Amino acid sequence: MSTPFGMSKGMSELTFIHTSDLQLGMTRKFLSPEAQSRFDDARLRAVDKLGELARERGAEFIVVAGDVFEHNALEQRTLGRALEAFSRLPVPVYLLPGNHDPLVADSIFHRTEAVGNVTVLDSNEVVEVRPGVELVGAPLTAKYASEDLCARALRDLEPTDAIRVLVGHGQVEARTGEAAADLIDLANLEEKLASGVVDYVALGDTHSTRSLGTSGKVWFSGSPETTDFHDLTPGVTGGEVDSGNALVVRLNAGTANVEKVAVGTWVFEALHWDVTGAGDVDEILAQLRAYPDKERTVIKYAIVGTLGLEDTRRLEEGLAELEPVFASLRERTRLMDLHLEPGEDELADLPLTGFAADAMEELAGSAAAGDPVARDAVNLLFRLSREVSA
User: What are the pLDDT digits (tens) for 156-176?
Assistant: 999 999 999 999 999 998 655
User: What are the pLDDT digits (tens) for 322-345?
Assistant: 999 999 999 999 999 988 777 666
Q: What is residue 279's predicted lDDT score, i.e. its pLDDT?
A: 97
Distance CA 129, CA 94 (A): 10
The domains of the chain are located at 13-262, 266-335, 342-389
User: What are the pLDDT digits (tens) for 223-245?
Assistant: 999 999 999 988 777 789 999 99
Q: What is residue 173's predicted lDDT score, i.e. its pLDDT?
A: 80
Q: What is residue 358's predicted lDDT score, i.e. its pLDDT?
A: 67
Query: Predicted confidence band at 7 (pLDDT cuts at 50, 70, 90)?
Result: very low
Largest interatomic CA distance in the chain: 92
- Among 52-56, 232-236, 284-288, 312-316, the minimum mean pLDDT is found in 232-236
Q: What is residue 239's predicted lDDT score, i.e. its pLDDT?
A: 85
Residues 6+ apart with CB under 8 A from 93: 61, 62, 63, 64, 86, 117, 118, 119
Residues of the chain with pLDDT > 90: what percent? 76
Q: Which of 101, 179, 203, 205 is nearest to 143 (CA)?
A: 101
- The yes-or-no verdict on residue 212 having pLDDT over 90 is yes
Q: What mean pLDDT comes out for the span 62-79? A: 95
Whether CATH 3.10.20.310 fits 13-262: no
